[in-house]
Amino acid sequence: MLTTIYQITQIINSILDLKELLNKVMDLAIGLVGAERGLIFLYRSESDEMEMVVARNMEHQTIKDATEYSRSILKEVGHGQAILSHDAATDERFKEFRSVSIYHIRSLLCVPLRLKSRIIGTVYVDTREPGVVFSEDDLRFLEAFANQAAIAIEIARLYEQVRQENQYLRQAVQERYGYENIIGRSPKMREMFTLLSRVASSSLPVMIRGESGTGKELVARGIHHNSQRRDRKFFTENCAALPDTLLESELFGHAKGAFTGADTSRRGLFELADGGTLFLDEVGDMSMPMQSKLLRVLQDGEFRPVGSETPRHVDVRVISATSRDLEAMIKQKAFREDLYFRLKVITVKLPTMRERREDVPLLIDHFLAKIAHENKTPKLRVDRDLMALLTRYDWPGNVRELENQVYRLALFAGGDTLTLHDAQSDTEFFGKVTLPGTRGADTRLTRDDLQRALNQANGNRDEAARILGISRATFFRKLKQFELGQKRPRLVRPPHTA
């Protein structure tokens, strides 16, 4: 008997799925004592109820009566006495139970599922066959089995609980923290986060649509970092920035001697990103011949480096982005329709700043925190009037423009709170927000603006241009105009941060 119990224990301990386990326990219990039918009840401590979780060949009345037996077992706290009836029909204890007489139940057993001092449920089996009678041995056998089953059931329950919690936590992490640097709580952004949480784990191609500055690259990175490819490389290529020949060798690499100046062979981004993600920005600006080459990689995962005969095989997830109207381009035969469908298996549409004005304060707060962190200074605040102005403005350059503007405003801060007055001294900006549509306002930039930006950027001109939200060329033109280009500006940062 011990060996059998041991073997059975091994079987049930290997099942972690609760439903599957309960079914197995039921079948084993019936088989062990040669019963005909069976039930398993589990006790729900929170509702104080016995809940039937498995039934084999049972009618309603018997289930009801067996629930009563189970309750009586449970009531004997600490004892949990099992019930055995050799001949139920003549047994005084079952007089009251109609199932016994209606269904001619000959012999029945009901044993507790005992876990140390706790009873977590019961196992009930019976038989209506005239020749079969359960013995004391059957009872002890079933009790021993039930003790083992109780442990297995408890483990499976715990496992299920942990798994559910894990799933919940993983989802929370993915939705909340995985994209923590993508700011936005507006309905349009929430919709996008929900979509992202569903698509990140797959390897399907994603196309990100949205105006310039809406965060397409940021989202592409977020998708990569939430995918199973997160430990592999993420590369980005701006398809609008390079002429065809260069773009081709950037993407696919080239063999040694493929063209003048190719003294060595070079691996392309598709090869470098193998197993990872390649972000193709401004994909709508690709020439038709390049589109055909891209289509080939997406179809077969195969490409040939420039000047090489040997095809390469790669596994790359392609995320593309564009601010162009691809559908119109397809009609004009400027974009391949087949490539379009390959790329846009999943489409993520990013809202403009106008469509999510309510996120403006949130974004401003985010960038002010970033500035404070970068400069190791206290975080600036924005007063109500200025916030109203900033929220009303249309931000044609979307988050990018907003980010640049917050950096600029920080330069004009008089105290710890940015006010309308501070914004007024940023004449370029003030002109823009109060006269919508005015462009080319960099003529309003003063010598002081430039000086402040240079100080903030520690003398780095590229950085200073970025802070002011103007191009490098404009910045240099201004430097010359104000004769600021010659001497290196004084550092204004506290010495310990330098």
List interacting residues with ligand ADP (CB under 6 A): 182-184, 210, 212-218, 366, 399-400, 403
Question: Of these partners, ligand ADP, Mg ion, none, which one is at the site of residue 215 (CB under 5 to 8 Å by kind)?
Answer: ligand ADP
| Opening angle at CA 265, ends 260 and 269, nearest 5 | 110
- Considering the complex, what minimum distance in angstroms separates the CB of residue 431 from ligand ADP? 23
Using alpha carbons, list the distances in angstroms from residue 124 to 33, 108, 391.
11, 7, 69
Inter-residue contact 301 to 314 (CB < 8 Å): yes
- Of 214 and 249, which has the nearer Cβ to ligand ADP? 214
- Of 84 and 283, which has the nearer Cβ to ligand ADP? 283
- Of 213 and 253, which has the nearer Cβ to ligand ADP? 213
- Binding characters for Mg ion, 213-232, by CB under 5 A (x = yes): ----x---------------
Q: Which residue is nearest to Mg ion (CB)?
A: 217
Question: Of these partners, ligand ADP, Mg ion, none, which one is at the site of residue 182 (CB under 5 to 8 Å by kind)?
Answer: ligand ADP
Using alpha carbons, list the distances in angstroms from residue 443 to 74, 431, 455, 470, 481.
86, 11, 20, 11, 11
Find the part of the chain contacting Mg ion (CB under 5 A) among 40-48, 200-208, 211-219, 261-269. Answer: 211-219
- Judging by DSSP bridges, how do beta strands 346-349 and 234-238 pair with one another? unpaired
- Considering the complex, what minimum distance in angstroms separates the CB of residue 277 from ligand ADP? 15
* Ramachandran sector of residue 30 (left: φ over 0; alpha: ψ -120 to 50; beta: rest): alpha
In the structure encoding, which two tokens stand for residue 330, read together? 């397809």
Q: What is the distance between the alpha carbons of residues 431 and 453, in angstroms, rounded to a whole number?
A: 19
- Of 178 and 184, which has the nearer Cβ to ligand ADP? 184
**Which residue type is seen at 252?**
F
Q: What is the distance between the alpha carbons of residues 288 and 435, in angstroms, rounded to a whole number?
A: 41
Helix (H, G, I), strand (E, B) or coil at 322: strand
Q: What is the distance between the alpha carbons of residues 485 and 174, in angstroms, rounded to a whole number?
A: 47
- Considering the complex, what minimum distance in angstroms separates the CB of residue 211 from Mg ion? 10
In the structure encoding, which two tokens stand for residue 41, read together? 């009840």
In the structure encoding, which two tokens stand for residue 220, read together? 């592409």
Question: Of these partners, ligand ADP, Mg ion, none, which one is at the site of residue 122 (CB under 5 to 8 Å by kind)?
Answer: none
- Of 209 and 342, which has the nearer Cβ to ligand ADP? 209
- Considering the complex, what minimum distance in angstroms separates the CB of residue 281 from Mg ion? 5
Inter-residue contact 431 to 438 (CB < 8 Å): yes
Q: Which residue is nearest to ligand ADP (CB)?
A: 215
Question: Of these partners, ligand ADP, Mg ion, none, which one is at the site of residue 106 (CB under 5 to 8 Å by kind)?
Answer: none
Question: Of these partners, ligand ADP, Mg ion, none, which one is at the site of residue 214 (CB under 5 to 8 Å by kind)?
Answer: ligand ADP
In the structure encoding, which two tokens stand for residue 483, read together? 């004769």
By residue count, the chain amounts to 498
Question: Of these partners, Mg ion, ligand ADP, none, which one is at the site of residue 183 (CB under 5 to 8 Å by kind)?
Answer: ligand ADP
- Considering the complex, what minimum distance in angstroms separates the CB of residue 281 from ligand ADP? 6
- Considering the complex, what minimum distance in angstroms separates the CB of residue 364 from ligand ADP? 11
Q: Which residues of the chain form contacts with Mg ion (CB under 5 A)?
A: 217
